[in-house]
Structure 1
Amino acid sequence: MRLCLVTDSLGSLSFEDMIDTSASLGYESLEFACGNWSNAPHIEIDELLESSIEREKFVNSIISKGLGIEALNCSGNQLAPNEEGKAHQIVVEKTFRLAELLGIKKIVMMSGLPGGGPEDKSPNWITTSWPPETTEILNWQWNEKAFPYWEKTVKKAKEHGIEKIALENHGCQLVYNPATLFKLRNQIGEMIGMNLDPSHLFWMGGDPILAARHLGGAIYHIHAKDVRVERGLVGTDGLLDTKTTDLFTERSWNFAALGYGHDTLWWSEFFSIVNMIGYDGPISLENEDQTMDQLTAVTKSTKLLKNTLPRVFA
């Protein structure tokens, strides 16, 4: 397993400062966000698509620091039944094209979430089987939207030389846990795997270690991100919390730097388990802790990674 950084984790830094900092912290590869839910602070996708000179300059800047490009990330909701969905799909297609030009074989993204029917203009996340119409909505989303979309998308990805698409188990998406990942994978094929992000399973009440055991070889990527369930708040209101993430003093859970939600022992067990089941890919730090500045959170998280990954660092 190698140390990777989601570059948005240092989104406040310039491209040059980000790669310098990543190298100095001991990272070995980078995961670049190309747009959609990210403002893509470190990549100009149109410029890179249009100019071989800019692509060469981009790659050489990274290689010169001893880093590699691990994956491109275009996370968004390309299945949204509105203009945002159309815009997100454009970024997905550009990301596939850029991956081919850069020789990148893995894309990290979301499964997407459609509306609840042909006339809907907003996505609709179904999380219960009652009342009865929820099941009808969910079946329509999968059969009429998700399966056809992903059949086409996997075919397009193969045309661009992409070998793996790692879908993040994110809430408000059709794929948000192992069961929904396998529902899509069993229909579409093994191009589709999981970007296992423990943080989302934490806030949905799951156990990432058990999820990892169940997923096995379907794990294509891992985001190292933590969640702290807030004492005194979760017991009153539960884990379903619609307060925005900047209101961290009021929320029942918050994204946290590694070790500030779950301790070193938990992360040691998690990495030991994924290593034991055969995962040897990147551990990609994704920092979204809003309670401390970015560099502090990334530095603290990096220290935990080096102490818990089952390998020796120089």
Structure 2
Amino acid sequence: MKLALCTDVLANLPYAEMLDRVKSYGINGVEMTAGGWSPCPHVKTDELLASAEKLSAFRQELEKREMTLVALNCSGNPLAPGELGEKHTLSSYKTVELAGKLGVKKIVMMSGLPGGCAEDTIPNWITSTVSWPDYMPEVLRYQWDDVAIPWWKKFVQHAKQHGIEKIAIEEFPSQLVYNPSTLLKLRNAVDEIIGINLDPSHLIAIGADPIAAARKLEGAVFHVHGKDARIERGLVEIDGLLETQPVTETKSRTWNYVAVGCGQDLQWWKAFFSVLRMTGYDGYVSLEMEDLTMSVEAGLQTSVDALNASISR
């Protein structure tokens, strides 16, 4: 395995300076956002698609540093009703086109989340047991059969036409794919070009075990995010894991995203990567630093040190 960095954490730096900073950590791989929710600080997708000269200059900055663009990220909600879904669908299609021009074979996305019916205007995430009230089974049928599966079948064809070999979907709360079983449901219904971007933090935050998930997902792990979460003792025992407070309210939340090693210890991380390697994954691990309890620099260095000490090389 090799270490990469999700570069949005260095959004304050211009493109070339960002690459130099990444190199200073001994990292030669980058995952950069090209669409979705991100402001895409380092990838101006429309400009790069429109200008062969700018596209060439973009590539040259990577090449002269001997760095690899391991994936383009377009995490958003293309299945949302109305304007948001249309915007994120368009950026997803453009990300694929840009990946094709750059020779990038893998994109990282989220599944999206539809509304609860054709008339709904906001996404609707069903998390309650489907027993009562009895409207939920039809909501789930609509979301999967009428919206998600048709959208993804069409999108996969577009991706293949542009040379994409892997679509790594991050399992994320408030998305239709949020755990291994929902990922496999989409993969089985659409195409094996779809796999998972296995982000341990999101499974930890819902009480799942990423190591067990890695075993279940053998052959379907296309990408891995190095990102940790901490269940906050003294709070989770009272309110449980369902958390709606903003991520900035770190002191009162029942769980938080933290630097790698500040949630699970290094022995856990070594076991996680060992099982991933044992089940066939030997690709990039992209550090995604979203710890709001410390400075960006401290979070990056803490995470780089922990990942260097634990990934299976």
For the aligned pair, the TM-score class normalised by the smaller chain equals over 0.9
Moved more, 207-216 or 33-42: 33-42
Structural mapping, 1:61-210, within 5 Å? 61-128=61-128, 129-131=130-132, 132-210=134-212
2:262 is aligned with 1:241: no
Deviations 1:85-117 (A, max 9, x none): 111111111101101110111110011100000
| SS of residue paired to 1:216 | coil
In structure 1, stretches of 5+ residues that fail to align are none
Deviation at 1:310, TM superposition (A): 2.0
Deviation at 1:22, TM superposition (A): 0.8
Amino acid in the other structure paired with 1:273: V
Amino acid in the other structure paired with 1:45: T
TM-score normalised by structure 2 residue count = 0.97
Among candidates 242, 254, 257, match of residue 256 of structure 2 = 254
Q: Whole-Å Cα distance in 1 between the matches of residues 39 and 297 of structure 2?
A: 19
2:195 is aligned with 1:213: no
Deviation at 1:83, TM superposition (A): 0.8
Deviation at 1:221, TM superposition (A): 0.3
> Are 1:23 and 1:66, in contact at CA under 8 Å, matched by a contact in 2?
no
Deviation at 1:57, TM superposition (A): 0.9
| SS of residue paired to 1:119 | coil
**Percentage identity across aligned positions?**
50
Deviations 1:26-46 (A, max 9, x none): 112111111321111111111
Which residue does 2:293 correspond to in 1? 291
Which residue does 1:222 correspond to in 2? 224
Among candidates 289, 300, 303, match of residue 301 of structure 1 = 303
Amino acid in the other structure paired with 1:112: G
Moved more, 26-35 or 190-199: 26-35
> Are 2:93 and 2:155, in contact at CA under 8 Å, matched by a contact in 1?
no
Q: Whole-Å Cα distance in 2 between the matches of residues 37 and 255 of structure 1?
A: 18
Amino acid in the other structure paired with 2:183: L
Q: CA RMSD in A?
A: 0.9
Deviation at 1:11, TM superposition (A): 2.1
Deviations 1:180-217 (A, max 9, x none): 01111111111100000000000111000000000001
Deviations 1:56-109 (A, max 9, x none): 111111121221100100000000002111111111111011011101111100
Amino acid in the other structure paired with 2:119: E
Amino acid in the other structure paired with 1:59: R
Q: Whole-Å Cα distance in 1 between the matches of residues 151 and 44 of structure 2?
A: 27
In structure 2, stretches of 5+ residues that fail to align are none
TM-score normalised by structure 1 residue count = 0.97
What is the aligned residue count?
311
Q: Whole-Å Cα distance in 1 between the matches of residues 149 and 249 of structure 2?
A: 37
